[in-house]
Structure 1
Amino acid sequence: MGALINGDDGLPAEEVGTWAKEKHDRLRRYLDISRAARNKFLTGAARSATFIDLFCGPGRAQVKETGEWIDGSAVAAWKISQNGGAPFSDIYVADIDDDRRKATVERLNRLKAPVRELSGSAADAAAELAGVINRYGLHFAFIDPFSLGALDFRIIQSLATLKRIDMLIHVSAMDLQRNLGINLGQDGSAFDSFAPGWREKVDLARPQQAIRQQVVEYWRDLVAGLGKKPSTRMELITGNTGQRLYWLLLAAENELAHKFWSVATDNGQRSLF
């Protein structure tokens, strides 16, 4: 996480690359496509359809290359749900950085969104959330960490205890590419947090590309083992010069959610490696 800057609305913000716009476009498209399914839970007995953002950041950002101001993920999610006529019943936000989290909370409060603040790490927030959320509702979690190591598998384990939850997950391709040697050579590496038990499943004698693929496939198997199938469609987000930054994939139990994701990413599946 970089230094905060002054936002155009008087609150702290951050600088991002143009790739952030593409990421949020995928998020908004999915939430808009799925609004009819969400509305069934908003008007039914549960009266609960929530949005969860455990790495919410400050809620506002400026694109470095153009100077354009854009909404953060939680703010963008609330706006698209309102515009589609199926506004989330609750917006749960967390960020280990207090200043960032509080800026998002204030921005959502200004929009009169039903925001609920969770403190601490994403793993702690997910564990707390699983104990207080309406278990009969429909839930959507955007898991957008700043590094592979921050994608603690305990986050997904906690959220997967909820029956009706779809998770859109950011997996850092850059960390897999640049930091492979570091993560292979030490205990307590990013891989240990991301995919616990990987050392017993990955053949370190194979070429680096094969090792990276094994780690990701093992992680996918772990997620599937929780009953939340990872999508075969992993959307690759690239930087300004074509460098691989990260993948977005959906993990969900319901096949309808995967159909929604396929429509939201209709530009076609891109290769993992």
Structure 2
Amino acid sequence: MKSKEIEERVLDPADGLPVMKVGPWSEEKHVALSRYVDSARKARAKWGYTAFIDLFAGPGRVLNRDSRVISDGGVLSAWRMSLQGGTPFNQVFIGDLDADSILACESRLIAAGAPVRAHVGTASKTVDEVLAALPKGLHFAFLDPFSIEHLDFEIIRKLSSRSNIDILIHFSVMDVQRNIGGDFRLTSSRLDAAAPGWRSNLNLEAVPKHEQVNVYLQYWESLVSDLTKMQVSQNKPLFVNMNRGPLYRLIHLSRHPLAQKLWNTAAMPHSPQQTLPGF
């Protein structure tokens, strides 16, 4: 769901299609994604069908707010890397709430040679459409929502119904940090969809403020383990802004030890920015 980030339309002079404005840290996210796609090429080669799924695809190209450089977004980065590795995905499924974004992304993927199926709507809706059209095979889903309130846990649970699927998630630490204290006593919270039951299962009053985000994340991970039977990989790189404020983690879910090993190696290496107190 990227429509909020295209408030002021910016067009890519290369193709005349809209781009999404992002912070400079997005480039590192797409590098980590591409490295994993590349590292899994031998695994893809063993399957008759593999698919890449991006339910928050946006227009497919992004504009760095600082450098003003335009580059590929997540799904285009992943597709091009699969081509370079010699084991391209058999199908690319994309979705987004913004129809113009999906049209732009679909056009760009087709121009890049990708067999693409596009869906317009919320990820909670398009996940059902994708799964209905998804053959058996080895699949990789990338969930990169605009904010954590759009990371409905049901999306993850439904995707996990496929036994051979890995899921890479943009988990917004910043959103949790911003809302967890004020939302704890409300009748509804922007954090409820991502981690159902968190307020009734967590005693935040007994948790120091700087540890509350981590406690929420641990509860979310317990839901992943209990409800999807998938495992959270050890490497969960934390991305920060220019003031070292925490932004998000990339969290990889899988069932196969090889997938976990590949992600733990392919993810951005550990650095001081990933050891901020409470995160």
Return the TM-score normalized by structure 1: 0.94
Question: 2:36 aligned with 1:34, yes or no?
Answer: no
- Is the 8 Å Cα contact of residues 180 and 191 (structure 2) preserved in structure 1? no
**Residue 128 of structure 1, CA deviation:** 2.2
**Match for residue 240 of structure 1 among 242, 252, 275:** 242
Which of 9, 13, 16 aligns to 1:10? It is 16
- Alpha-carbon distance in 1 for matches of 2:222, 2:180: 20
Q: Tell me the residue number matched to 2:261.
A: 259
**Aligned-residue offset at 1:266:** 5.6
State whether residues 14 and 62 of structure 1, in contact with CA within 8 Å, keep that contact through their aligned partners in structure 2. yes
Deviation, 1:189, is: 1.2
2:182 match: 182
Match for residue 25 of structure 1 among 28, 31, 38: 31
Residue 44 of structure 1 corresponds to: none
State the SS of the aligned residue for 2:128: helix
Moved more, 219-228 or 19-28: 219-228
How far apart, in 2, do the equivalents of 1:247 and 1:213 lie? 11
1:113/1:252 Cα in 2 relative to 1: closer, same or farther (>3 Å)? same
d(CA) in 2 for partners of 1:242, 1:205: 26
| 1: CA distance, partners of 2:156 / 2:166 | 11
- Could you tell me how far apart the structure 1 residues matched to 2:157 and 2:230 are? 10
Q: Aligned-residue CA RMSD in angstroms? A: 1.4
Q: Is the 8 A contact 2:138 2:165 kept in 1?
A: yes
SS in 2 for 1:237: strand
Superposition deviation, residue 157 in structure 1: 0.8
Gapped regions of structure 1 (runs ≥ 5): 42-46
> Cα offset for 1:246?
0.2
Indicate how the Cα distance of structure 1 residues 260 and 184 shifts in structure 2: closer, same or farther if over 3 A, else same: same
Relative to structure 2, which stretch is displaced further, 113-122 or 200-209? Answer: 200-209
Question: For 1:105-156, what per-residue CA distance to the aligned partner results, in whole angstroms no more than 9, with x for missing partners?
Answer: 1111112210001221101111222222112x00000000111101100110
**Alpha-carbon deviation of 1:230?**
1.0
| Aligned position for 2:252 | 250
Q: Helix, strand or coil: the match of 1:240?
A: coil
Of all paired residues, the percent bearing the same amino acid is: 38
Matches of 2:106 and 2:187, distance apart in 1: 36
Q: Does 1:195 align with 2:201?
A: no
Counterpart residue type for residue 7 of structure 1: D
CA offsets per residue over residues 217-249 of structure 1, 9 Å max, x none? 111011112111111221101112222110001
Q: Note if contact 1:18-1:240 (Cα within 8 Å) is conserved in structure 2.
A: no
Which residue of structure 2 lines up, in the alignment, with residue 103 of structure 1? Answer: 104
Contact 2:179 2:190 in 1 (8 A): no
1:129-148 pair list within 5 angstroms: 129-135=130-136, 137-148=137-148
CA deviations over 1:88-119 (Å, ceiling 9, x no partner): 00000000111111110111111221000122
Contact (CA 8 Å) 1:152, 1:193: kept in 2 or not?
A: yes
CA deviation after TM superposition for structure 1 residue 56, in Å: 0.3
Do 1:234 and 1:249's aligned partners in 2 also have CA atoms closer than 8 Å?
A: yes
Shift of 1:200: 2.1
